Structure 1
């Protein structure tokens, strides 16, 4: 973490965020000469959002998914040699992707801290100032929530770093990290507006994220009585918000051509027009089916870097609408002949449909790759079903939540509805728990939740061993190792147990 703050000592750099910023800020601005106007505050906030992902490389834009997709039963990396250790559980503490996520996460945290620490003193409209501060609290909480689930104890930095000595600190316990996350999200949930510009946090996002925090903490070493009830209550509040609703057609709930819809709560926005800073999503380009030409101008080398594990793919019933909305299973080859995924040069199912703009007319990766949806309302329904079941078993309301998701899938696109998936009934607390986890597979596949679900339910090891008995996965993989370089730079940081 220490080396990522070096830029602070030379002055703060803010990059242009053309997602919602009309004017480009200056590249380098000394802190003592900055943070004086409402425009300065907005540019600082823009820098915090931009830190979530830039250049298709950093944090949410790419590397976070490498850690969580490949190290679960969801995805594999047939064409990426550097990522195979993640998929095969042979990675070590100096793994490049683990280091990048750690560094980028703390860079984003520091960008949020700059807003929180500096904007409070700017003379500007109080309502606007409060909104900006609430957004920064949301972003900081989001970063720490990813971090506490990936590494457990973390160095807790809530001030703007101005000197390297300020990051020579030990890791704080998981309970303290959760406490800070909850404090930030309570502030954000209280002060954010129900609506906001696309790509920015709003009240429903803060409350939904807080619900997920409580649900996750409930099964952690920091669990507290009432966590499940807090989750259920927040889910109820979000579901009742008139700004959000389950869309009638599952295919419209996530996708490049349907971004920022009423089911979406928060999305990292990958520009679909390449700009000089190269901000775009790689998910569509990397998850294309190699050898199946589904995008105009696609070349033989496109795709195959993010492919679906076959056992995970087989969890989807053939007549479940969500399967055809997630995967390319057949399509034209270079000669126009129809081929199936088994016939591809990289013979794995392709999960590209959630990230490719199917209306695109260009091969440009930045033109057809979609956003990364961090939270959407279907997740809230399933979180509420899970929390209610943990409180008092499968109640009528818990069934209502999960069956609403299944009914939407059953209705398909409104034309020719099917009998699959049928409503659930007659389950025990244990079988309902299993059913919710499997429903999350079908509903939220390749949306960044699977690894976290397997870890918080303590099912990662058994799940991986069931499909890859030869992989050396063990309990230590419930957390990632602290990057080796961080321990060398800061002797106060200790490594996670069993990692070297």
Structure 2
């Protein structure tokens, strides 16, 4: 995180809107913060437009998408005070859900910023050329950032909603207002075009003063992920050339790995030390959404993140000054990642907590810890919690923890998965997979015997399933990775993984919360509310009703909605 940089982005965003309001613009332009061309007077001013575009990632509306992490099989929503979030958690929402509408609007507002930047550069390029007619580096990079942001946002949209309108120009133009929804294939075509263009225009690295901006590696990393996801889609739909896109995914992932610009940190725990985030961006983290303590605002609309507050156990002092424990871990998930291949895995120790101290000084032990023989003063929790996000100095919604979007570890997992889909579990696929386990064994410097390398002799389907579970631990509570893995990966029975989990895997797990009775844990291992109403329609979010009502050309609603 870089406090001064992020605050500057917000100030720039506000400044652009203010200048627009003072200029003779239309109402639509005013609302969208279109800069008057005379406002950008010199080449260095172009950076203000770039900063303003990225600033849209920080306000609360964009952070709402992170709350859709509750649409997974690994955590539980434990706070019944917010009706709309409960609806989201239990899959009882519909197309009028306010958060879904805000999410949709925010994505398109960010896209509008990217489109405006591209249009501004196209319309004003000549006045920024040097004496020899060359384009200045800052202008080239600005185009790269705009293409990256547009591809990045459409990648979220297509996975969450399926086909969506492809707005690539100023939204105030009449022809942009009432576009029909494009097909999934058409959306991915634009994503690939934008990210490939961004990879050619963006710098290899950014210095410490401009952290939070994308790089060549970020574009290529997201491109690898998008190629893999599109290949999964073609595979599931039984159409198109899936091998072409598995190959493309592997190519870009290997390109990032072989670039020499990134390296795995030896100690997995360092990734989650809030004081080491800047170092992590210099090593393993390829791209992340950055948050910082807001000196002016401690509410939901602050520049800080919510993760320490929401994921930390209630009143746990090492997590946050105001942690509330909204998202505990499904007990069966902790059992999976503390047994079998994952017994003694350092990542489990780092990623989960089963004991903590509250503000009142009382120590709490959770499932599956064994309490001392009475008398004792320990409290008991039915659920473990996620431990990746800690900021003991944070209050409420104002923590420093960033959200890592893509790390080098994922590039190795993409190589393993793509190679398996192309050629089966070859030695190359095993090597990429086991690179991640090798890092896990380094632990905190005292080497561990576990997790052992993945055993040889697996079938293609078994190797794919191993990747699914490995990703579930390595990327626990990062971005929306678990949800996207559930809706994109093929299950052992050929269905999409989420439906397999709902219909085949989860029914075998005892229902209910575990209870500590007479020195042992009895009862269930699964809270079933998140799965009770889940149907195939929940693989996509509903298109907001207002979008369909206001756009006569849009087309139909998503299946089942």
- The TM-score with structure 2 as length reference comes to 0.79
Q: By how many angstroms is 1:182 displaced? A: 0.4
Q: By how many angstroms is 1:106 displaced? A: 0.5
C-alpha distance in 1, partners of 2:319/2:57? 28
Q: In 2 relative to 1, CA 274–22 (structure 1 residues): closer, same or farther, beyond 3 Å?
A: closer
C-alpha distance in 1, partners of 2:379/2:544? 37
Q: By how many angstroms is 1:315 displaced? A: 2.3
The size of the alignment, in residue pairs, is: 473
Q: In 2 relative to 1, CA 364–337 (structure 1 residues): closer, same or farther, beyond 3 Å?
A: closer
Q: Is the contact made by 2:437 and 2:453 (CA closer than 8 Å) also made in structure 1?
A: yes
Q: By how many angstroms is 1:316 displaced? A: 1.0
Residue 525 of structure 2: aligned partner: none
Q: By how many angstroms is 1:19 displaced? A: 5.1
Q: By how many angstroms is 1:96 displaced? A: 1.9
Q: Which has the larger radius of gyration?
A: 2
Q: Where does 1:386-401 land on structure 2 (aligned, <5 Å)?
A: 386-401=417-432
Q: In 2 relative to 1, CA 26–99 (structure 1 residues): closer, same or farther, beyond 3 Å?
A: closer
Q: By how many angstroms is 1:303 displaced? A: 1.6
Q: In 2 relative to 1, CA 255–96 (structure 1 residues): closer, same or farther, beyond 3 Å?
A: farther
C-alpha distance in 2, partners of 1:105/1:237? 29
Residue 53 of structure 1: aligned partner: 58
Q: Does 1:236 align with 2:254?
A: yes
Q: Does 1:491 align with 2:552?
A: yes
Q: By how many angstroms is 1:20 displaced? A: 5.9
Q: Does 1:313 align with 2:323?
A: no
C-alpha distance in 2, partners of 1:202/1:239? 14
Residue 383 of structure 1: aligned partner: 414
Q: Where does 1:14-413 land on structure 2 (aligned, <5 Å)?
A: 18=6, 21=9, 24=12, 25-30=15-20, 31-32=35-36, 33-54=38-59, 57-59=60-62, 61=63, 63-67=64-68, 69-79=69-79, 80-120=82-122, 121-122=124-125, 123-124=127-128, 126-163=136-173, 166-196=176-206, 197-221=210-234, 223-224=240-241, 225-260=243-278, 261=280, 262-276=283-297, 278-295=302-319, 298-299=321-322, 302-317=323-338, 318-342=343-367, 347-351=382-386, 353-357=387-391, 360=392, 362-365=393-396, 368-413=399-444
C-alpha distance in 2, partners of 1:341/1:38? 57
Q: In 2 relative to 1, CA 344–202 (structure 1 residues): closer, same or farther, beyond 3 Å?
A: farther
1:33-80 per-residue CA deviation (whole Å, 9 max, x = no partner) reads 4444334422221121111231xx222x2x11222x111102222114
C-alpha distance in 1, partners of 2:6/2:261? 25
RMSD: 2.4
Q: In 2 relative to 1, CA 198–42 (structure 1 residues): closer, same or farther, beyond 3 Å?
A: same
C-alpha distance in 1, partners of 2:559/2:448? 51
SS in 1 for 2:318: coil
Unaligned runs of 5+ in 1: 1-15
Q: By how many angstroms is 1:416 displaced? A: 4.3
Q: In 2 relative to 1, CA 366–474 (structure 1 residues): closer, same or farther, beyond 3 Å?
A: closer
1:380-437 per-residue CA deviation (whole Å, 9 max, x = no partner) reads 1101100000000111111111101011111211114233244432211111111111
C-alpha distance in 1, partners of 2:500/2:193? 34
Q: Is the contact made by 1:90 and 1:472 (CA closer than 8 Å) also made in structure 2?
A: yes
Residue 429 of structure 1: aligned partner: 460
- The TM-score with structure 1 as length reference comes to 0.88
